[in-house]
A and B are shown apart, each in its own frame.
Chain A
């Protein structure tokens, strides 16, 4: 199974909005609402941002939102802040009872 496809990098200025895409197949992203998003700062463990395509865990800012269309899921960060500068990973459960992650996207807040 191949990793989900994410852009290697995105950038934005403080206050702007950005969107990160995550493309899979009908056997993972497109087939189930089990898409999640994680934020990782250097040297730290990943932190859950979004689960079930568009749900935010308690304590996660409403500036983070998720959606899905077909085999592509998206993470949108609005009102960019300096602390959003990090790596972002999507993840999905699959039809063969495995988990897949995306290759990761480095967000630069300029």
Chain B
């Protein structure tokens, strides 16, 4: 059974960089997309970006200038960096696996709340 687990600071100061890591267990990272999705408190889901196992990336156009993702298959991990954060970036951040061909997020992490505040 594939499992994903987010980790990283729960509190980030405005203008600083949010960094999260997702650890994948129970399956290979090959042939999949690995994505980040966030959900502000009381609001809907917003796709942030995905990295393919080959290293190619796709990002939400509205966040593209501030986002970077990376992949370390030797550690079964992938990471998110979001710079110049503001209070509007406060959200539960989920990591998830997407299948090539169906383009669906079939496995999700439990989510981690990141609050942007001084």
Partners in one complex: yes
Complex-state Cα separation, A97 to B60, whole angstroms: 10
Q: Mark B39-76, 1 if CB is under 8 A from A, else 0.
A: 00000111100100000001111100000000000000
B47 contacts A99, C-beta separation under 8 Å:
yes
Contact of B44 among A36, A45, A52, A101 (CB under 8 A): A101
Q: Does A69 contact B (CB under 8 A)?
A: no
Q: Which of A13-62 contact B (CB under 8 A)?
A: 34, 36, 38, 44-48, 51-52, 57
Interface pair B103/A45, CB less than 8 Å apart:
no
CB distance from A48 to the nearest CB of B (A): 5
The stretch from B7-15, B21-29, B108-116 touching chain A is B108-116
Asked if B104 is at the interface (CB within 8 A of a chain A CB), the reply is: yes
Given contacts A98-B58, A99-B47, A101-B45, contact A91 B94 (CB under 8 A): no
Q: Complex Cα distance A17/B47, Å?
A: 30
Question: What is the interface size of chain A, counting residues whose CB is below 8 A from a CB of the partner?
Answer: 25
A44 contacts across to B, CB distance below 8 A: 110
A48 touches B106 (CB 8 A): yes
Cross-chain contact A100 with B47 (CB below 8 angstroms): yes
Q: Which interface residue of B94, B102, B104 has the most chain A CB atoms within 10 A?
A: B104
- Chain B residues with CB under 8 Å of A48's CB are 104-106
Q: Mark B87-106, 1 if CB is under 8 A from A, else 0.
A: 00000001000100011111
A104 contacts B44, CB within 8 Å?
yes
